[in-house]
Amino acid sequence: MKNGKYVGDSGNLEASIDRLLNEEKQMRLAENVSGTRKAATEILQLCFEAKDWKLLNEQILNLSKKRGQLKQAVQSMVQQAMQYIDQTPDIETRIELIKTLNNVSAGKIYVEIERARLTRKLAKIKEDQGQIAEAADLMQEVAVETFGAMAKTEKIAFILEQVRLCLDRQDYVRAQILSRKINPRVFDADTKKDKKKPKEGENIVEEAPADIPSLLELKRIYYELMIRYYSHNNEYLEICRSYKAIYDIPSVKETPEQWIPVLRKICWFLVLAPHDPMQSSLLNATLEDKNLSEIPDFKMLLKQVVTMEVIQWTSLWNKYKDEFEKEKSMVGGSLGDKAGEDLKLRIIEHNILVVSKYYSRITLKRLAELLCLSIEEAEKHLSEMVVSKALIAKIDRPSGIVCFQVSKDSNEILNSWAVNLEKLLDLVEKSCHQIHKETMVHKAALRP
């Protein structure tokens, strides 16, 4: 006998449940919330103590379908049964209990948070069994961004889990759609501020469970997932920005063991990123970082890229090849399968930009010599840069001459002439004014 109820024998168990069912019915019809809740949870407790999992599932379904069942009772039942999940004897029993609770909570807004947590548990089981596609499909059924009572950190953690499973099944399009549900600015919110008390009529936001990471930990997880996504398409600049966001996390900046590998990755991906205003801005901002002096080789690499001088590819590769290979054993892993080829391509593009700054016209042969390439390769890379609008150039193939000057149309020429004439007239007017002024001063001096 336990708490006045017989739980050892199946007959006593059935009798105890029948007695509690009658009690539950009386309380439910009387709309006694606390009494109904107490009777319902006691029934579940009896089944759990008897380790009769089949009966537990039956009673959960039975009680939830009672006519006029109170919301608070259903909520208490689901919350109580969720505590039993980790104590089930095997996986099959656990899955059956989770599915029963999912059926009970389906379409009920007052147990939507519990349903989301149950779905996550079921998805974890499926993932452990190697069924990643099924786990991803399960998680995508739940739109936690619409749950007003769920804690912000728990929402973010749930969406990040959805993104991770999509990446694991290589569904990059859906992963991007899900990742856009999280605004990166949410990670910069001040968590130290006092929480406002909810006004009357507003939803009370629940506290996040203890196993949910903090906002800054979620920030790191988010950007690590984004790095995985951007690596699929070799979007080097976006990968660099993600590493920069991780680098700015206070806990990372405090320990050199954490920030040095991240800063190395930032430098590499800055060099690998195609030249554009955003890349240039990030490059200059990184060069001003005092921590860069701790890794002088990378500071030298960035300075070479910023300086408008031709870089010799062979000497650069010989110097940095070991560092490049070393990245495989560091945080974030290798730089990518195509990183070596892309690095050479960026150096060629840098050299073409340098040549365009110093020359208005140059022969293809001389350009190829400066780039250490054949004439065909030099022409190919130059053409690709013109197509991508990285620079403006024209190639006279019969003459073998490249012209970097911008050809102006008739309107631009006329406008430049008009501007020049305006400047000339302004100068004439000022000169006339000065002459007139000098004449007046001279005449005043000659008068007695």
Residue 4: per-residue pLDDT: 43
What is the enclosing helix (H) or strand (E) of 403?
strand 401-403
The greatest distance separating any two alpha carbons of the chain, rounded to the nearest whole angstrom, comes to 139
pLDDT value for 163 = 93
Residue 269 in domain: yes
Burial of 73 (0-12, 13-18, 19+ CB in 10 A): buried
71 in any annotated domain: yes
- Do 322 and 368 belong to one domain? no
Q: Are residues 29 and 96 in the same domain?
A: yes
DSSP 8-state assignment for residue 396: E
Q: What tokens were used for 246?
A: 């991780």
In a domain, 163, yes or no: no
At residue 161, the pLDDT reads 92
Whether 50 is in a domain gets the answer yes
Boundary-marking domain end, from 109, 132, 167? 109
pLDDT tens for the chain, 448 residues: list them.
344 443 445 567 788 888 888 888 888 888 888 888 888 888 888 888 888 888 888 888 888 888 888 888 888 888 888 888 888 888 888 888 888 888 888 888 888 888 888 888 888 988 888 888 888 888 888 888 888 778 888 889 999 999 999 999 999 999 999 999 988 888 887 555 545 555 544 556 677 777 788 888 999 999 999 999 998 888 889 999 999 999 988 888 888 888 888 898 899 899 988 888 888 888 888 888 888 888 888 889 889 888 888 888 888 888 888 888 887 767 666 776 688 888 888 899 899 888 888 888 888 888 888 888 888 888 898 888 888 888 888 888 888 888 887 766 778 778 888 888 888 898 999 999 889 888 888 877 766 5
pTM of the model as a whole: 0.79
- In this prediction, residue 196 carries a pLDDT of 55
Question: Within 10 Å of residue 292's Cβ, how many Cβ atoms?
Answer: 18
346 and 363 fall within a common domain:
no
Tokens describing residue 330: 């560091």
CATH no. for residue 407? Answer: 1.10.10.10
Same domain, 351 and 403: no
In the block, tokens 């690095």 appear at 343
Stretch (H or E) spanning 126:
helix 112-128
The angle that helices 364-371 and 375-387 make with each other, rounded to 10 degrees, is 90
Residue 251 lies in a domain: no
Question: Does any domain span residue 135?
Answer: no
Same domain for 328 and 365?
Answer: no
Question: And the tokens for 358?
Answer: 């110093």
* Domain coverage including residue 306: 260-357
348 and 264 in a common domain? yes
Q: Does residue 371 sit in the same domain as residue 388?
A: yes
Distance CA 299, CA 291 (A): 10
Domain co-membership, 85 together with 69: yes
Closest by Cα among 149, 278, 133 to 204: 149
- Residues 96, 29 within the same domain: yes
Number of independent structural domains in the chain: 3
Helix (H) or strand (E) holding 284: helix 277-287
- Judge whether 283 lies within some domain: yes
Q: Last residue of a domain, which of 357, 389, 409?
A: 357
Bridge partners of 395, per DSSP, are 402
Q: What is the pLDDT of residue 8?
A: 46
Of 324, 357, 390, the position where a domain reaches its end is: 357
**57 located within any domain:** yes
